[in-house]
Structure formats: C-alpha cells, structure tokens
Structure 1
Amino acid sequence: MRTRVTADPLAVVRNLGVLAHVDAGKTTVTERILYLTGATYKRGEVHDGTTVTDFDPQERDRGITIFAAAVSCDWDGHRINLIDTPGHVDFSDEVERSLRVLDGAVAVFDAVAGVEPQSESVWRRADRYGVPRVAFVNKMDRAGADLDAAVASIRARLHPAPLVVQLPIGREDGFRGVVDLVRMRALVWDAGRPVREEPVPRELVEEAWRRRGLLEEAVAELHPGVLEEFCAVPADPARGAAVSEATLVRALRELTLAGTGVIVLCGAAYRDRGVEPLLDAVVAYLPSPLDVPAAAHAADPAAPLVALAFKVSATATGRLTYARLYSGTLRKGDVVLDAGAGRTERVGRILRVQADRHAEVDRAVAGDIVALAGPRSARAGATLCAPDAPVVLEPPGSAEPVVSVAVEARRSTDAGRLAAALARLAEEDPSLSVRADAETGQTLLSGMGELHLEVAAEKLRRDHGLAVTVGRPQVAYRETVARGVSGVLYRHVKQDGGAGQFAHVVLDVEPLDGEGFEFRSSVTGGRVPREYVRAVEAGCRDALAAGPLGGHPVTGLRVTLTDGATHPKDSSELAFRAAGRLGLREALRSCAMALLEPVAEVTVTVPDDAAGAVLGDLAARRGRVSGSATRAGTGPGPGPVGGPVGGPVGGTVGGTVVVTAVVPLAELFGYATRLRSRTQGRGTFTTRPAGYAPAP
C-alpha cells in the first residue's frame, strides 16, 4: 500500500461502486482490492463462502451478491469508499439506490462473454445518473478470453468510446501480465508474488507501439488539446509516440469525468492479476466529491448538512440508515431533519462500515458514506439535512414489482409477528411491497422476480424465526384500452341533509401509445373551474388502480374532460373527484379492454447440440426469438504466450449457441430446472424486464 500527502481532504476521497452482470467476477475484484490495500489479511473466495462483502448466509449459500455492501480502504494516499452491488436482475433496485450516491464506478465484464444483459442494464442506470466509469475486462485467463472481442461488444452495445490502455501479455491460461500503453512498461505477475515492472517484452514492442498510436488517435478525436499536440508534434521515430504521457493522462481523466470515453483495463482477479493498475486508474481517473458537478457547490464540510439515505438495514443491535454526505459535518448526537417527512431525528452513533462490521466515529464530513444509528423512521431516499436549512434531494427511482406470492403464517398466533416482519422487509427493500387481496383476504408479497421473493421468504424464516407458507408466484398483470369511447356522461349527486354533493362530467377515453396515463381538458367558458378540473384528474387516477377485466391496474390511456356542470352550493373538489373516479370506471366498462402481461428478455447460452430442444421449449412457452449467435469452441491449449490480442487460439471442438428471446414472465417460473434437464446441466440463462405485451 502506497502513501502520498495531499492537501485537500475531499480531493483524496473516491466513492465508487463495482457493477457487473452476475458471475462476471465483481465480488472477487472487490475482495482482491480489500486484500491489496491491507483492509483484509486473507483473500476471500465466493466458492468458499469467505468473502467480506457477501456476508449474508443466503449470499454464501447461493454464491451470488444479493445486498449492496459498503467497505472502505486506502490506496496511494486516497480513501476509497466502495459499494459491491448485486448482479442479478431481481436485485437491480439495490444497484439503483447505490448509483444515486456514487461518484464513480468500475464496470466489470467477462473476457469471454463481453457485454451481458445485466451489465448493459446497470450501464444504462449509470448513464442516467451521470456516473463516470472505468471498465475492467476480467477472467483473461479463461479459455476463449478475447480482449478485442470484449471491447467490440462494449462499443457496439454500450456506445461509449472505449479507450484501451493495456495490452495483455499471454493468452488464456498463459495470461501473466499487461503492457501499460500510457507509460509503455510491462506489469507482470508471478504466482504468489507482487506485481513486477519490466521493459515491454521484445516480441510485443511493435504491437504495443501500434496500439499506443491507436489510443492517441482515439483520444485526439475526442479531446481538442490532444488533437492539437497530435497534429503539431510528429511521432518520435525512437518512441513511436506523438502525445506526451502527461497530456494523455490529463485527457483520459477529463474524458472519463465528462462521460465521453471509458478507459478499458484487463486482468484476472481470481489469480491476483491486474488489480493494482485498476486501483491506480480509480485514483487517477475517477472523480472525487469535488469533481461531481451536481454537488461541487456544496461539497464543503463547513456548509449546512445535506445527506441522502440510500439503504436501511435491520441488525441484531438495531436499525441502521446508510447515508452519503454531500455537504456539511455530522456529529454524534446531532439532530437532523428528514426533509421529505418533516420529522426530526437524533443521530445516536456514526459508524464506518466494513460490510457487516462497524467502527464507531465521532463525526462524518462531506464526501463520506457512513451508517447512522438513531433515526427510527427515515426510509431509503430520504434527505437528511440541517433543521435550519431544509433541502430535498432527488431520491433514487424504484421499479414496480412484477411478481406476487401469497404469504401466511403456519401458526395463527404468528399472524401479528408476520405482519411486523413483512413491514420491516418492505422498509429495508423498497422494491418489495405488501398488500392484502380484497377478494381473498390473503397477504400478498410482491417483488422483482422469483428469486427476489425466495430470498424474502427465507429472511422471514431465518431472521425472524417464522414458519410461513408461500403460494405459487403470480405475475402482475395490467389492463389497457384497446378501443375507446366518447361522450361518457356521469352525474354525481348526493343529498343526505345539509350541504350535498353535485358534479357533472363528460369524458372521452382513447388508447395512448405506450404505457402511462395522460389527462387533458377541453372545457371552455368556465363551465368547470380549474380547481375542479384538477379534482377530476385526481379522481381518474384513483380509478386506474383497478380495471374492469380483473381488477388489475390500468395503463396506456388518455382521458379528456370535454364538458361538465356545477351547482352554486353543492359543488366541491370532493364531489368532482368522486365524479372523475366513478365516471372513468363507467367509461372503462364501455371500452374494449385488453390484458397486458409482463415479459422478459431471456438470453440462453447452450451447447450447439442442445439448441433445437431449447428453441422448441421457448416456443412452447410463447417465446419470440429475436436473435441467435454461435460462438466457436476452442481447443484445450492456449495460444502462444505474448501472442497478439485476437489471434488464433486453437481448433474448434464444439461451440455454444446464444439465443435471445422475449418470453412472458409467467412462463419462466421453473425454467432453470427445465433448462438444466434439457442440456444435462450445461445451459445457462439470464433475464431482464422488457415491459408489457398483450396477453392471449
């Protein structure tokens, strides 16, 4: 671990996340970062269940990350606050909440698979929050690993300008190091030894200078300063470089912060190769809290407190609220304002977080990510600020649940405990929702997928000691208008002594392209006052909660208020809201309605000899195949060590087929078991939400 003295304490802070598709190796990358920085003294392994960040028993049993975990470490005189995020699509809301408070990210890609569905999904989320990233192509030691192919998939599917700053030394099992194209040096790792710096291997010198030239050209296309130097200074025949190292480093940082380009590094984290230069890139290229445009004006420890709560967790010692401080200083015992709820909370303790371990500190300052003990009601997305300087930050978005199960306690005496436990689960994870079915009286737990609900049910059993019965998963359907109606008149009149209620509305209903709801008014002459128009809209929104086909939420329609009438004494906003609600319900019963079901994009990877059976099974599940590609297999031996990237590897011994299809979510329950049986355990699949489609 290296040290360096830097004057500004905020300039040496890096708040970053590790993002990836499931099984790309991001937890292993995190574990190697903690080991190399001295934060841990033993390498944690996913397959052994010894990782620091996957500390929950379910994570260790399943071998995947389920809950975002925060850890801290030091490298090169910098403080790195790191959040290891889940890669499975069912837990994408954990990624969303983490991205909201991060300044930068490391995106991890599999060197064989390249960009996979969930890595594309989290990349888009990072785009939405403007989070700068560096890319790390992992598993370069695997058979079939190809840096050039992975970079090509980044360029094609994610559309940034990939700026490759390394050249691998060796291929597949022979991968042993990289050439740093910025400083033109070789970094080599031998088994059990730290990284060793060497001259560029003689057989790679020509290829390294060629790729350095390609890097300079790519940067010059994006950065005016580099373009000027690139055109003004001819390449040095002895060095082959037209741009100085200092200019190139400065430009790479500026392009990363602007999101114009993404620096690409490579390595094999499991074998401890490539992690040190990744840490150097995090320090050199990713932003500090001072570099984040949205918070640059407020990143001041002396300013009023502004913090965003992004995660709530129940522990054996009490409730913890994880928060990112954007400005100000928070001290133990301070009273803070939950700006959205209008309540004040007292902070009893401030904790530095190391996954499931905590160290108490007296204060936290702008740029810190800490856990707070004391706030009892602040939820994920709440803004915590100084009581005399209220401000509300934009909370992270949350997706609507698409799958539900009925949950009930096996013992009737546990019904109250179950209700309290479900409420706590929903508080910790906003992507879970709990409601009572009006028709059956059952308690329904809704989430993002089958695995999401399995994990929640297991938490009820393990953490809360409840014996529960869980029903078969049911998808969340929607209803939409296929053919509308015009001129639906509804008169709301109620008289039961005293002031009555009177509202008269005329509504047109028509389909709307896509999902959502649109309301407008064409009433003229003041026949319906403006405040009553707003009440009609609110009533219409109330009516969208349950449609006429099966009581499902209604989406994809436009409602126009075309006429109406009022009474001088009995009209009120309450009356017009009731008229809007009841009038739209009557109108929907006259419309031609259609049922929508959630669909998912499924990517199935299978041996080519099993492709026919898999395609037939997808067709039986009402799947629509949108594409397929064949990947050639490789021979048992790696190519020549030090050979050029993308060169021949070996003979083809049987490839795999990657099939992409859109399948109704209801047809995917139990698909994992069916796929294993049809492919003798060799097939894998991933899913991601693809919206809604008409149901048969």
Structure 2
Amino acid sequence: MRTQLSSTRQLSRIRNLGILAHVDAGKTTLTERFLFLTGATHKRGEVHDGTTVTDFDPQERDRGITIFAAAVSCDWDGHRINLIDTPGHVDFSDEVERSLRVLDGAVAVFDAVAGVEPQSETVWRQADRHGVPRIAFVNKLDRAGADLDTAVASIRDRLHAVPLVVQLPIGREDAFTGVVDLLRMRALVWDDEADAACVEGPVPEELRDEAARRRRLLEETVAELHPAALEEFCARGELGARTLAGALRDLTCGGEAVVVLCGSAYRNRGVEPLLDAVVAYLPSPSDVPSVRGTLDGAVEERAADPAAPFAGLVFKVHSTATGRLTFLRVYAGTLRKGDTVLDATAGRTERVGRILRVQADRNTETDRASAGDIVAVVGPKAARTGATLCAPGAPLLFEPPVSAAPVVSVAVEARRGLDTDRLASALARLAEEDPSLVVRTDPETGQTVLSGQGELHLEVAAEKIRRAGLDVTVGRPQVAYRETVLRGVSGFVHRHVKQDGGAGQFAHVVLDVEPLDGPDGTFAFASTVTGGRVPQEYVRAVEAGCRDALAEGPLGGHPVTGLRVTLTDGATHSKDSSELAFRTAARFALRDALRAAVMTLLEPVAEVTVTAPDAAVGPVLGDLAARRGRVSGSTAHSGTTVVTATVPLAELFGYATRLRTRTQGRATFTTRPAGYTPKP
C-alpha cells in the first residue's frame, strides 16, 4: 500500500503539456521564459537572435519559426514539467497532431491584439479531438492595440469555449506592468530590469472596484458550472479561494471551461503565475483515464502505474549524427536501460541501449523511465512513428496518430546520377521522421515525387536534403486533385468469368453509383441483395474491390472520393465463385461504372487570411480575385484590415512574394486547408 501511494504521489507531480498557438503568437518565447525561470537554462534565448533552446534546427533559426516539435523538461514548485513546443504554421499541423496524442494538457497562447487567429482554431480543434485540457495565456499585452477583453471575447465566440478570466491587467499597452490575481486579490508587478522578480502587493486603489466586480463574475460563472461551488455560493454568497481553485481545476480537467491568464512573455511579465497555473489546474498522468489498447482484438486498459507491464507510444523519430532517437511517451510500467521490448506494430523485438531525458538538441542519460515520462531511447532500429513498444510478455497495441493526406507534390531528383541512391536513402529517412511526407515514383514519368502538407513543408524537406550534402533539383509544386461523381448510374451490370484450366473464376454483380454528400463523405458502401444471392463473405469482397477501384479515376487517374456504391443484385457459381473473383469483378465494375457516370475534378482550396494596411486593401483584393479567390469577409481594426478568402491551393504558389511586392512588405497572410471544390 505504501509503494502504491508513493507511485501515485510521484505521478501527481508530473505535468506533460504542449504549447499551442498560431504562428508568431509567442510560443517559443514563452517556452524560453519557462526554462529560464525554472533554472533549466541560465540565459534567456530570443527568437530574433537565433539563440532559443527549442528552435535549434538551422532552418528554424534562419526562418524565425518553429518547424519541428521539440521536447524539454524543467522543474517548478516540486513538479516535473515535460513540455513540447509545437509548430504554429499550418504546414506542420501533423507535428502538433502527433504531440497532442501523448500530452495530458496544453497552454494555448493567443496574441492580445489579434485574438483567435486561423491556426489557433486548427490547433484548438485538434486538442478537442484528443480530449486535451487547456489553459489560455493572452500574450503580448504590451503591444499597441492589445486588449484582454477583446481577445477573451474571440475565444468565447470563435472557439465556443467558456473562458474563466482569473487576472486583470495593470496598465495598458506600453504601460502594462503586471496583473491583479483575482483568486487571492493581490497585485503582481514586474519592473523593467531584465531579471527582476515578481513583486507582490495590494490591489491598486484605482482597480479595486473593477477587480471586485470581475471576482464576483468569476465566482458566479464557476458556481453555474460546478455543483460543489454552487452549494458553497448559495450558502455563503461567495466562494473561498480554496474552493474556487479546486473548482477551476475540476472544470479545466473536465474540459468544461478554460482558465485564462495574461501577460507579456517577451518582457517577462505574467510567466510565473502561468507556471503556477500549469501546476494547479492541468492534470497529471494519474488524473487522466487509463490508456486503452487492443490485445488479440479485445480492448484492454492499462493504468499509469510504474509497477504495471511496460507500454509506450512512439510519437517522433529523429536521425542525428550520433544515431537514431526514438521519442517515447511511457504510459504504463517502467523501462530500464538494456531491456528488450516488443514493437507490437511491426511484431519484432528491439533492445533499448540508452534512455535519454531530452532538452531539445541536448540530452542527459538515465537508467530508467516510468509511467508518465517522455523520453528518447537509443537502440530500436525499425520502430516508426506511431509504433507501440511494450513488454514482450504483456503485448498491447495502441492506436497510432493519423497523418493527414498530402495536398502538394514536387518532383525531386539528384543533379548527379551518382547521387540517386543517396537521394533515395535521404527521402526514406525524411518519410520515416515525418509520416506526413510521402515519397512515390510516378508510373508515367519515372520521377521521384515528394508529397506534403504545403509549399513551405516541401521547401523545408528539400532544404534538409541539401544541407545533408546532396545537390537536388525540385520541380514546380503540383496539387493533389480528386475526382467525384456528379451524376451516377443505376443497375450497372458486370460479369467476371475466367477459365484457364483448373478452377475458374465467376462473379456477377449489379451496382448503383451515386454522389455522397457531407463534409466527411469520402466513400460509403451498402448492400440490398436479398435471398442470399450473394453470400455475406462475397459482399465484403465486393466492398474491398470497390475501394481498390477508388485509387484511380477516369478523368486523370486521381483518387475518387464522394460516392456511394450499393450492391443491388448478383449471382454466384457453385464451384467457380470465390472472394477473389468477386473482388476482381467489383473493381472492374466500379471502374467501368465511373466511366459511364458524369464525373468532375476537385481541387484543394485553402482559407487565406490577409492582414494588410487599409491603403493596400485594393491591391490585395484584386490579386485574390485574379487567383480565383472568393472573399468571405473583411474586418477593419486599428488602421489594418483583415481579409478572409477561399483560394485554390494551386493559385497560392509564390503568393508570399507577390503579396510583399504589392504591399511594400507591409502585409502578412496565413492559410489553412478548407477541403475540395469543383475545378472549373
């Protein structure tokens, strides 16, 4: 019992969290302040100086953005914080997806001027899908035009969250000096000295009424959401600080509300209270439900217990000059140096040679890693991203993170023929590290094609190959088109008969093909055959054959999406019918049916958000129209206008340069995928 209590206490002092935000909201700066204030580093890194710990890759420092998710650890108030700084650019959303798969909580960072931005919504929805509790940090309150209430309103309106604001800013814009803590009704002030500590004092006289009003509003909102808080509020007419803090933690962990704090990470204001909030409100590994996996087809739960059989999920693979690092979240049990583990995904055993506690591009060796830890291991040679590593005597298979389908492709080839094999190895290594990159050979041209999530994604991949010493040429980007059905066909008959001596093949199928509506309508299959004319095992083979036929459409060999296929009739032969025969018949039947149907080509589109000075809005709108863009809205704010439009992805290549030229470098833009639309 004492050992169990000790393990629970140890787990309760771990926080696994990510930093999520739109690009340039201040994620990396905030991470650097975390590391400095906790003593993990002795000097604050700055993005503009290229001295940050987490943006250690040369491309990240050159471009000034986070590209690869980086793991770091620090200690605060007796708690171990394992932190992952995630990218904010839409092209690297898969890095965020894989990170969220192994995190217990997150800090969502918002710009106090811009509020919720397009990629803010994307990462928020990703966290919703994974059920990751969040607290919010409204950053850059020292900027001109910064307003906490406006940013909080955007969180409420655009993210449909319930924000619980626990701080009140002291001063506005350049005069922002600190915050009022509404739980303890105290002022926290920082001066302009670089390493100045927070100074605690009474609430300023001019803010006392406003602080009291906001404290009352906070209590009322919490009481509406939390039964125990409601009981105390009704009995006493107010909430004590302990009850309020406990209710905030419960609401955060349950995903019912979001605690909101504020500050300026660059000027070191509001970071210590945020660290306190991470410890106070975000869950530990012992607070989240037991992880679920499958064992021989049955679902099994495994608790976060260091004494349980070992199980962990690989969320990142990184090749370095000194070897291959496999990043791992340990969900259950204890992993020791020298252990042999089972890669349940590949069905092979691997030996763990070293266990490393990672600090971005630096690491410290350790002898063991227990439930709740995020570490890197050296030794596994074939474990891929999404693989489950577990104890050989207690196998378990976790569901791997899902990678988004690529939307942009380029042809890549080595300038020198002698480097062709080296290029193939480099591309294979890239695809292993980043599953959202897909490498294939074009069957018509014989070219090697690299596909990814966007133009920047492919630029970074190509540059990584060049920095490895390979001289490569990259073709013009090509988008990934799709084909769909506009008007289907009914009663399409196909008979598959093959007799070549020995057992023959016979299958007779009748298909209806029609469009499938809905945002998730990719393919649906149904059978209305009655009387056992087509046995159930053959019906499954027909569905498999139809899925085979979706790989290449009749218009240009693009994948087919958005259709419903119904098997309405069929016939079998007592000896020659088989699952293979019906699968083959269905593949040819659907292929021919699509040729008979009315088809259309779909092209990927992106939602583009352009922020430009009012004087440059005309050229921006004209350029968007020339790119077949459809403007969906515009908002004016403090001398700038934010224009939102839907633009075909094929028209966005080179848009960054064009926008800078038309606006003298004063406009910025962001994009995010917005699905597919018919191509004119």
- Residue 341 of structure 1: which of 331, 336, 346 is its match? 346
SS at match of 1:489: strand
Q: Distance in 2 between matches of 1:579 and 1:418?
A: 40
Partner of 1:194: 197
8 Å Cα contact 2:7-2:305 kept in structure 1: no
**Is 1:293–2:289 an aligned residue pair?**
yes
SS at match of 2:286: helix
Q: Distance in 2 between matches of 1:45 and 1:490?
A: 66
Partner of 1:224: 227
Partner of 1:106: 107
Q: Distance in 2 between matches of 1:272 and 1:594?
A: 55
Partner of 1:691: 675
Q: Distance in 2 between matches of 1:225 and 1:523?
A: 56
Q: Distance in 1 between matches of 2:578 and 2:226?
A: 61
8 Å Cα contact 2:528-2:567 kept in structure 1: yes
Q: Which segment drifts farther, 76-85 or 7-16?
A: 7-16
Partner of 2:3: none
**Is 1:204–2:207 an aligned residue pair?**
yes
Distance 1:492 1:522, change over 3 A: same
Q: CA deviation at 1:394?
A: 1.8
Q: CA deviation at 1:7?
A: 7.7
8 Å Cα contact 1:627-1:661 kept in structure 2: yes
Residue correspondence of structure 1 range 413-428 to structure 2 within 5 A: 413-428=418-433
8 Å Cα contact 1:604-1:683 kept in structure 2: yes
Q: Which segment drifts farther, 291-300 or 196-205?
A: 291-300
SS at match of 1:135: strand
Partner of 2:552: 546
Q: Distance in 2 between matches of 1:671 and 1:231?
A: 58
Q: Distance in 1 between matches of 2:7 and 2:144?
A: 43
- Residue 217 of structure 2: which of 214, 219, 230 is its match? 214
Q: Which segment drifts farther, 197-206 or 681-690?
A: 197-206
8 Å Cα contact 1:6-1:12 kept in structure 2: no
Q: CA deviation at 1:297?
A: 5.7
- Residue 660 of structure 1: which of 636, 639, 644 is its match? 644
SS at match of 1:123: helix
Partner of 2:123: 122
Partner of 1:269: 265
**Is 1:556–2:562 an aligned residue pair?**
yes
- Residue 528 of structure 2: which of 518, 522, 535 is its match? 522
Partner of 1:35: 36
8 Å Cα contact 1:17-1:105 kept in structure 2: yes
Partner of 2:514: 510
Q: Per-residue displacement from partner, 1:366-423 (whole Å, max 9, x unpaired)? A: 0000001111111111111111111111221211000000001111111111111111
Partner of 2:434: 429
- Residue 606 of structure 1: which of 612, 617, 620 is its match? 612
**Is 1:233–2:236 an aligned residue pair?**
yes
Residue correspondence of structure 1 range 125-524 to structure 2 within 5 A: 125-192=126-193, 193-234=196-237, 242-295=238-291, 298-463=303-468, 465-514=469-518, 515-524=521-530
Q: Distance in 2 between matches of 1:176 and 1:36?
A: 18
SS at match of 1:9: helix
Identity %: 79
Q: Distance in 1 between matches of 2:572 and 2:445?
A: 40
8 Å Cα contact 2:135-2:260 kept in structure 1: yes
Q: Distance in 2 between matches of 1:207 and 1:382?
A: 52
Q: Which segment drifts farther, 399-408 or 512-521?
A: 512-521
TM-score under structure 2 normalisation? 0.96
- Matched residue type, 2:645: A
Q: Per-residue displacement from partner, 1:11-64 (whole Å, max 9, x unpaired)? A: 100000000000000000000000000000000000110000000000000000
Partner of 2:70: 69
- Matched residue type, 1:467: D
SS at match of 1:270: coil
Q: Per-residue displacement from partner, 1:55-83 (whole Å, max 9, x unpaired)? A: 00000000000000000000000000000
- Residue 625 of structure 1: which of 631, 634, 644 is its match? 631
Q: CA deviation at 1:495?
A: 2.1
Partner of 2:597: 591
8 Å Cα contact 2:307-2:333 kept in structure 1: yes
Q: Which segment drifts farther, 155-164 or 340-349?
A: 340-349
8 Å Cα contact 1:605-1:659 kept in structure 2: yes
Partner of 1:59: 60
Q: CA deviation at 1:568?
A: 2.1
8 Å Cα contact 2:74-2:80 kept in structure 1: yes
Q: Distance in 2 between matches of 1:183 and 1:608?
A: 44
SS at match of 1:39: coil
Q: Distance in 2 between matches of 1:596 and 1:321?
A: 38
SS at match of 2:666: coil
SS at match of 2:508: strand
Q: CA deviation at 1:525?
A: 1.8
Q: CA deviation at 1:340?
A: 2.0
Q: Per-residue displacement from partner, 1:69-114 (whole Å, max 9, x unpaired)? A: 0000000000000000000000000000000000000000000000
- Matched residue type, 1:217: E
Partner of 1:238: none
Q: Distance in 1 between matches of 2:396 and 2:122?
A: 31
8 Å Cα contact 1:6-1:77 kept in structure 2: no
Q: CA deviation at 1:481?
A: 0.4
SS at match of 1:345: strand
Q: Distance in 2 between matches of 1:572 and 1:443?
A: 37
Q: CA deviation at 1:572?
A: 1.5
Q: Distance in 2 between matches of 1:214 and 1:689?
A: 38
TM-score under structure 1 normalisation? 0.94
8 Å Cα contact 1:18-1:108 kept in structure 2: yes
SS at match of 2:409: strand
8 Å Cα contact 2:7-2:306 kept in structure 1: no
Q: Which segment drifts farther, 196-205 or 546-555?
A: 196-205
8 Å Cα contact 2:8-2:286 kept in structure 1: no
Q: Per-residue displacement from partner, 1:143-179 (whole Å, max 9, x unpaired)? A: 0000000000000011111000000011101111000
SS at match of 1:72: strand
Q: CA deviation at 1:225?
A: 1.5
Structure 1: which 5+ runs fail to align? Answer: 235-241, 633-654
Q: CA deviation at 1:6?
A: 11
